[in-house]
Structure 1
Amino acid sequence: MVRKRYDWEGGAQLDEHSKRKHKILHEYVLQYIVVRCKHPQQPRFRFAIVDGFAGAGRYAGDTAGSPLIFVDRVKAAAEEINLARAIEGLPNIDLECHLILNDSDPTAVSLLEQNIAPLLAEVRETSKNLRIETSFLNEPFENAYPKIKKILTSAKITNALFNLDQCGHSYVDRATLKDIIQTYQSEIFYTFSIQSFLAFLSRTNPDLLLSQLAFLGLPLRDIEQLNFSMSNERWLGTAERLVFDAFQVCAPFVSPFSIHNPDGWRYWLIHFAKSYRARQVYNNVLHDNSSSQAHFGRAGLNMLSYNARHTDGHLYLFDQAGRTTAVDQLREDVPRLLTGRGHAINVLDFYESIYNLTPAHSADILSSLVGHPDLKVTTKSGGERRKSSTIKVADTISLNPQRTFHQILRPIERR
């Protein structure tokens, strides 16, 4: 697939799927920084944001692109965190951000330097606890990546957030995604066109592609060209499985959710992370921006294990209706999980085992544990938790000795 060329000088149009994606980035970047600055005595937080396909920074109508969103959100985070610290009588924290901006289009990079300059000047003048250093690169991302690594190594930065908003599928190798996750305390936002992804699979694993999409009853050529209804919910569920299977080797936590479009699911925004906490925050942000992304399958645990021949798969839009379904399923799923785990599990181990396979909000997961006839959550000292908001990672979730109907249920079927 040939990469889409933007008319940056004439005013590039921002597509609807990109608007939804930018909304998620806008919310997540602030939360990413806030979560990483929780320790009350932490003097500073050093991190990098790498925008591998940065563009010119502004679209038609003066709409901000991702590089400008990043500067704005980092500035907002510094202000929010230090205001909260001042109220609590805590010392300020200094944020040091290295912003690495790359694009293969020289015109885009030149305009980006102009568009971002006023925001950086404002940061220097008004944000005494924030320092942003910028590096501009003008190469295809795979060529730029070794230079990006050198910049991070030279600056001794290990915390990195990568935004890889490619227009096709072939501009970032899976080996590079794995290297980013393995080398740094990193997270990745990775965007691609499902058409390019299917074309890639048709070359590398056509048998898998045809078997997964057999229900369409179409030849491989029609599948490659998307000659079928993209709004078919069963298509969404199958595509999610294909995406998850292809990318789960890249990181411990991979969210395979599509950018929501009722007219057809064509673009995917994947979040890669090394820790359950990052995925937990990401799930919560998706619920705060409901209908920005879409999932088809189960709402509780083992989200991709639904049986397409039955009716246990549903469209999940991270909205209130979806959350209600999630709580109902979680209250059945968690006892089943514990039945196969020796009837008890540490909360931290529970989080690490479930978050790669659930779209649920953290509050819904916690609420499913308290007041449940078959479950109890206990502290290290043996006290029982009565409120979900008080549950800690050192607590233990266990099955009650006198269980109800869950004791006869089998574990959730895995794919």
Structure 2
Amino acid sequence: MVRKLYDWKGGAQLDEHSKRKHKILHEYVLQYIVVRCKHPHQPRFRFAIVDGFAGAGRYAGGSPGSPLIFIDRVKAAAEAINLSRAVEGLPHINLECHLILNDADSSVTSLLMQNVAPILAEVRETSKNLQIEVSFLNEPFESAYPKIKAILTSAKITNALFNLDQCGHSYVERSTILDIINTYQSEIFYTFSIQSFLAFLSRTDPNLLLSQLSFLNLPIREIEQLNFPMSNERWLGTAERLVFDAFQVCAPFVSPFSIHNPDGWRYWFIHFAKSYRARQVYNNVLHDNSSAQAHFGRAGLNMLSYNSRDAEGHLYLFDEPGRTTAVDQLRDDIPRLLSKKGEALNVLDFYDGIYNLTPAHSADILSSLVGHPDLRVTTKSGGERRKANNIKVTDTIRLNPQQTFHRVLLPAGIR
């Protein structure tokens, strides 16, 4: 697929799918920093944000692009965290951010420098507990990545958030995603077109493509020529499973959700993370921005374990109706999970085991554990938790000795 060229100088148009990505980035970056600065006596947090396809920073009409969103959110996080600490009588924290902005077009980077300069000047003047250092690079991302690694190594930075908002699919290798996850305490936002991804798989991994599309009973040469019905919900579910299978080796937690557009699911916005906590925060941000992304399948645990040919899957838009469905399914799924795990499970182990396989909000997961006829959550001392928001990772989820009859058997959909 030929990369779409934005007319940054003439005024690049901000597409709907980009607006939705930006909204999620806007919310998530602040939460990412807040979570990483939880320790009350932590004196500083050093981290990098790498924008691999940065663009010029502003779209037609003045809408900010991702580089400006990152600067704004880092500034907002520094202010919010230190205000909260001041109210609690805690020492302030210094944030040190190294922002690495790369674009293959040198003329685009020149515009980006102009757009970034006044905002950085304001940060230096008004944010005494925030330091932002910026590096500009001018190369295709794969060529720039060794230089990015050298910058991070030289600065002794291990915490890194990567935004890889490519057009098409071929500009970032899966091996590079794996290296980022293995090298840094990192998270990655990764964008691609599903059509170019299918073309890529047909050339490089035809067996995976055939296995996931086997229900069509078509040979690979016909699959390559298919005009997929991108607005069909079942196609969304099939594509989601393909994406998950292709990328699950890259990180412990992979969210294979597409950007929800009225004209169909054509762009995927994947979040890669190393910890359940990052995925937990990401799920919650998606619910705060409902309908920005879409999932087709189950709303509880084992979100992809449905059959493409039957009616088990449902469209999940991270909205209130979806959350109601999630709670209903979770209240069935969790006892079955515990039956397989030995009837008791530490909450931390529970989180580690489920968060790569559920789109659910953290509050819905917790509410499914209390007041349940088959479950109880106990503290380290043996007391019982009766409020969802009091549950801690050191607690234990246990099956009650007498379970309701309809939950004893494990249905085919829960593996």
TM-score by length of 2: 0.97
Partner of 2:49, secondary structure, is strand
- Give the distance between the partners of 2:135 and 2:175, measured in 1 at CA: 24
Report percent identity of matched pairs: 84
Structure 1, unpaired ranges of 5+: none
Aligned residue type for 1:277: R
Match in the other structure for 1:236: 236
Match in the other structure for 2:393: 393
- Give the distance between the partners of 1:70 and 1:294, measured in 2 at CA: 24
- Cα displacement (A) at 1:366: 0.2
Larger deviation, residues 131-140 vs 401-410: 401-410
- Give the distance between the partners of 2:187 and 2:5, measured in 1 at CA: 27
Q: Deviations over 1:302-322 (max 9, x none)?
A: 000012333221000000000
Matched, 1:280 2:280: yes
Write the mapping of 1:285-324 to structure 2, written as runs, cut at 5 A.
285-324=285-324
Aligned residue type for 2:372: H
Match in the other structure for 2:89: 89
Larger deviation, residues 329-338 vs 310-319: 310-319
Q: Deviations over 1:299-344 (max 9, x none)?
A: 0000000123332210000000000000000000000000000000
- Cα displacement (A) at 1:110: 0.6
Q: Deviations over 1:169-222 (max 9, x none)?
A: 111111100000000000000000001100011112224323423445666566
Aligned residue type for 1:362: S
Asked if the contact 1:302/1:412 (under 8 Å) is kept, the reply is: no
Asked if the contact 2:163/2:188 (under 8 Å) is kept, the reply is: yes
- Give the distance between the partners of 1:152 and 1:121, measured in 2 at CA: 23
Q: Deviations over 1:257-277 (max 9, x none)?
A: 000013211000000000000
Match in the other structure for 2:176: 176
Matched, 1:338 2:333: no
Larger deviation, residues 216-225 vs 355-364: 216-225
Larger deviation, residues 30-39 vs 307-316: 307-316
Match in the other structure for 1:67: 67
Match in the other structure for 1:156: 156
Match in the other structure for 2:351: 351
Label 1:8 to 1:272 Cα distance change in 2 as closer, same or farther (>3 A).
Answer: same
- Give the distance between the partners of 1:276 and 1:250, measured in 2 at CA: 15
Partner of 2:186, secondary structure, is strand
Label 1:280 to 1:412 Cα distance change in 2 as closer, same or farther (>3 A).
Answer: farther
Aligned residue type for 2:333: D
- Cα displacement (A) at 1:226: 5.4
Match in the other structure for 2:245: 245
Asked if the contact 2:286/2:318 (under 8 Å) is kept, the reply is: yes
TM-score by length of 1: 0.97
Structure 2, unpaired ranges of 5+: none
Aligned residue type for 1:105: D
Q: Which runs of 4+ in 1 moved over 6 A?
A: none
- Give the distance between the partners of 2:168 and 2:129, measured in 1 at CA: 38
Please report the RMSD computed on the Cα atoms of aligned residues, expressed in angstroms: 1.4
Asked if the contact 2:258/2:293 (under 8 Å) is kept, the reply is: yes
Partner of 2:53, secondary structure, is coil
Asked if the contact 2:102/2:138 (under 8 Å) is kept, the reply is: yes
- Cα displacement (A) at 1:223: 4.2
Write the mapping of 1:75-224 to structure 2, written as runs, cut at 5 A.
75-216=75-216, 220=220, 223-224=223-224
- Cα displacement (A) at 1:413: 3.9
- Cα displacement (A) at 1:121: 0.3
Match in the other structure for 2:13: 13
Aligned residue type for 2:112: L
